[in-house]
């Protein structure tokens, strides 16, 4: 079912579906300060193919909703290598893809709105702290811990299992540190409240930060509450 039409305002489309910004950036459609007008106007002005742009938006929306509608696996029983691949593909993939985008956004709103919203300096700083910490954390998981888990699953040896659980405490501490930065971001942004005098990029940035929070919570949940305890349980047998 079609979701978006060219009569809708550009800013409203991005507010309802933040990923629409990818399509608008691709076609150089200004969704920030030029967002308060119907999409049709920008399409005509830039002599774009209306059907092509609208189809692209609706297809992206469709694949996105199908992805989130996929039935959740029972991760307590799924094979451990399937769980690890799911974490890497879905959650690490999300972070590697979106951290650079959100970085550009927090810096942009600081530059444009920082004079009237001094808290944006702290938002930008906190975000870059979590970005740096997560990049190191993901690398540690992808190059040390997950390969160790896979090695154990193949060999079934006690030594490989000890290697797979060796750095879990360290990883859990890093999860807590990331969670604390997310909490601080919520305090600084007053639960991501949008001021009245701001543009669509500001709204998009806060939405992306909330998506980051949501995804990271799910990601940390799968590691702390499912993957790590399952490994400990095998180790303690």
The three-class DSSP label of residue 210 is: helix
- 141 versus 207: smaller Cβ distance to Fe ion: 141
Please tell me the distance from the alpha carbon of residue 149 to that of residue 147, in angstroms, as a whole number.
Answer: 5
- 56 versus 86: smaller Cβ distance to Fe ion: 86
Contacts with Fe ion by CB under 5 A: the residue count is 2
- 109 versus 168: smaller Cβ distance to Fe ion: 168
Tokens of 91: 């959650």
Kindly state the smallest distance separating residue 133's Cβ from Fe ion, in Å.
11
The reply on whether position 207 binds Fe ion by CB under 5 A is: no
Kindly state the smallest distance separating residue 26's Cβ from Fe ion, in Å.
29
Please, are residues 135 and 92 in contact by the beta-carbon 8 Å criterion?
A: no
Q: CB burial class (10 A; 0-12, 13-18, 19+) of residue 122?
A: middle
- 207 versus 223: smaller Cβ distance to Fe ion: 223
Please tell me the distance from the alpha carbon of residue 199 to that of residue 14, in angstroms, as a whole number.
Answer: 11
Q: How many angstroms from the chain centroid is the CA of residue 97? A: 8
The reply on whether position 223 binds Fe ion by CB under 5 A is: yes
Q: Give the contact letters, 93-132, x = binds to Fe ion (CB under 5 A), - = no.
A: ----------------------------------------
- 113 versus 219: smaller Cβ distance to Fe ion: 219
Name residues contacting Fe ion, limited to 4-23 (CB under 5 A). none
Please, are residues 126 and 188 in contact by the beta-carbon 8 Å criterion?
A: yes
Backbone conformation region of residue 5, classed left if phi is above 0, alpha if psi is from -120 to 50, else beta: beta
The reply on whether position 182 binds Fe ion by CB under 5 A is: no
Stretch touching Fe ion by CB under 5 A, among 7-15, 121-129, 192-200, 221-229: 221-229
Three-state secondary structure readout of 138-167: HHHHHHHHHHHHHHHHHHCCHHHHHHHHHC
- 108 versus 219: smaller Cβ distance to Fe ion: 219
Name residues contacting Fe ion, limited to 129-158 (CB under 5 A). 141
Binding site for Fe ion (CB under 5 A): 141, 223
């Amino acid at each position: 079912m079609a979701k978006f039409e060219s009569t809708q305002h550009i800013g409203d489309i991005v507010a309802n579906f933040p990923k629409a910004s990818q399509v608008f950036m691709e076609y150089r459609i200004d969704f920030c300060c030029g967002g308060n007008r119907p999409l049709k106007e920008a399409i005509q002005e830039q002599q774009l193919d209306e059907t092509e742009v609208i189809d692209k938006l609706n297809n992206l929306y469709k694949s996105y909703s199908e992805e989130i509608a996929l039935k959740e696996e029972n991760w307590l029983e799924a094979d451990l290598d399937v769980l690890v691949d799911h974490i890497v593909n879905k959650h690490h993939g999300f972070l590697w893809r979106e951290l650079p985008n959100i970085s550009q956004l927090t810096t942009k709103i600081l530059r444009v709105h920082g004079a009237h919203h001094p808290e944006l300096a702290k938002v930008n700083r906190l975000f870059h702290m979590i970005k740096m910490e997560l990049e190191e954390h993901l690398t540690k998981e992808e190059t040390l811990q997950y390969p160790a888990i896979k090695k154990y699953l193949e060999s079934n040896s006690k030594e490989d299992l000890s290697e797979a659980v060796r750095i879990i405490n360290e990883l859990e501490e890093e999860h807590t540190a990331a969670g604390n930065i997310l909490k601080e971001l919520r305090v600084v942004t007053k639960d991501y409240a949008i001021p009245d005098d701001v543009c669509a990029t500001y709204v998009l940035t806060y939405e992306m930060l909330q998506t980051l929070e949501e995804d990271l919570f799910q990601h940390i949940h799968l590691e702390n509450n499912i993957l790590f305890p399952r490994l400990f349980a095998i180790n303690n047998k």
